[in-house]
Amino acid sequence: MTNEPSTKIGIIGAGAVGATIAYACLLRGVSHQISLYDIGTEKVHAETLDLNHGMQFVPPAQVNGSDDINVLAGSDVIVMTAGAKQKPGQSRLEIAGVNTEILRKIIPDILRVAPDAILLLVTNPVDVMTYVAQKLSGLPPARVFGSGTVLDSSRFRYLIGQQCSVAVQNVHSYIVGEHGDSEIPLWSSSSIGAVPLNQWHVPGHGSLAESDRNTIFKDVQEAAAQVIHGKGATNYAVGLAVCNILECILHNENRVLPVSSLLQNYRGISDVCLSVPCLVNRNGVEDTLPVPMNVDEEAGLRASANRIREVVRSLGF
């Protein structure tokens, strides 16, 4: 990192998700500076102190925190995690109204303190928030995107890896669509190594019959609720997933990530933010990838787009 230009990550919200993103970025040495902003004065100071107390054990970096948004000045990327989270039994879409109002208030301040930043949305419902942030900010679509189904895809890959006793890094599969109930698993283009999943028959390495697939996907859909039920929030996996996106942006890596971006004529779908595999680099979302889909997967993606669009329209956007 020492030979790379100095970079700064600004994180809005020092709750379970924001603080864990900061921690993951610190451990991996993603940026020279990490700044946390939260309206909870004591909370943001406490998280900042705790992160700084571990500085001896991580690559050199500066961590600042404040209840003054100017702490985010000059950020290269602003990560939005502030807002209400789901209570047990609540869907992500149910918290859209309150989190939209937070965006309405905070976006002018973000544009003032970090006019050149990429805006990465994590607050739920993330696809709706991404669209709202894009409209309110007027920034180019490439620079406003959401963490989308990066987390869902990592849960999916983990479960397939477990089922087949294969390292998760060798599982290549995407969840697309909404980060939420209408998301779609792209089984037809999934592979382990270069073996398409529908041809996976390795003795001693699991089966992916239809019933196994149904169980895996159901577990992905119920993953967040399961974790929230047990500990009140999800933070570690989302922290790592967002850290991975930040690394890809700040190190200009051109990784393929299923982030939530504004689609314009993607398989005929337009004017909605949802996840499909995208090329991500220092400029943000460079392009969407034309991933093969069967008829059911494409129909599912369309239904997911309609569902997100409905919520966005109900909020007046």
Please check whether residue 232 is in contact with residue 90, taking contact to mean a CB–CB distance below 8 angstroms. Answer: no
CA distance 83 to 8: 22
17 vs 139, beta carbon nearer ligand NAD: 17
38 vs 297, beta carbon nearer ligand NAD: 38
103 vs 279, beta carbon nearer ligand NAD: 103
Q: Which residue is nearest to ligand NAD (CB)?
A: 15
**Alpha helices, DSSP H only, in 61-209?**
96-113, 126-137, 150-164
Task: Give backbone dihedrals phi and psi of 313, rounded to 5 degrees, phi first.
Answer: -65, -40
Three-state secondary-structure class, residue 286: strand
Please check whether residue 175 is in contact with residue 258, taking contact to mean a CB–CB distance below 8 angstroms. Answer: yes
51 vs 106, beta carbon nearer ligand NAD: 106
Please check whether residue 317 is in contact with residue 294, taking contact to mean a CB–CB distance below 8 angstroms. Answer: no
Please check whether residue 224 is in contact with residue 86, taking contact to mean a CB–CB distance below 8 angstroms. Answer: yes
- From 82, 86, 122, select the one nearest 104 (Cα to Cα): 82
CA distance 2 to 197: 41
- Tell me how far, at minimum, the Cβ of 80 lies from ligand NAD, in Å: 9
Whose tokens are 């200009």? That residue is: 252
Structure tokens at 277: 């595999």
35 vs 124, beta carbon nearer ligand NAD: 124
69 vs 208, beta carbon nearer ligand NAD: 69
Enumerate binding residues for ligand NAD (CB under 6 A). Answer: 12-18, 38-40, 43, 81-86, 102, 106, 122-124, 126, 147, 151, 179, 233-234, 238
83 vs 161, beta carbon nearer ligand NAD: 83
CA distance 234 to 223: 9
- Tell me how far, at minimum, the Cβ of 1 lies from ligand NAD, in Å: 26
Residue 179 designated active-site: yes
- Tell me how far, at minimum, the Cβ of 92 lies from ligand NAD, in Å: 6
Give how far Cα 182 sits from Cα of 10, 16, 48, 125, 195, Å.
30, 25, 37, 12, 27
- Tell me how far, at minimum, the Cβ of 5 lies from ligand NAD, in Å: 28
- Tell me how far, at minimum, the Cβ of 100 lies from ligand NAD, in Å: 12
Give how far Cα 68 sits from Cα of 12, 48, 116, Å.
11, 14, 19
- Tell me how far, at minimum, the Cβ of 135 lies from ligand NAD, in Å: 18
- Tell me how far, at minimum, the Cβ of 199 lies from ligand NAD, in Å: 31
- The catalytically annotated residue of 32, 45, 172, 179 is 179
Burial class (CB in 10 A: 0-12, 13-18, 19+), 89: exposed
Give me the count of residues in the chain: 317
Question: Which residues are catalytic, by number?
Answer: 179
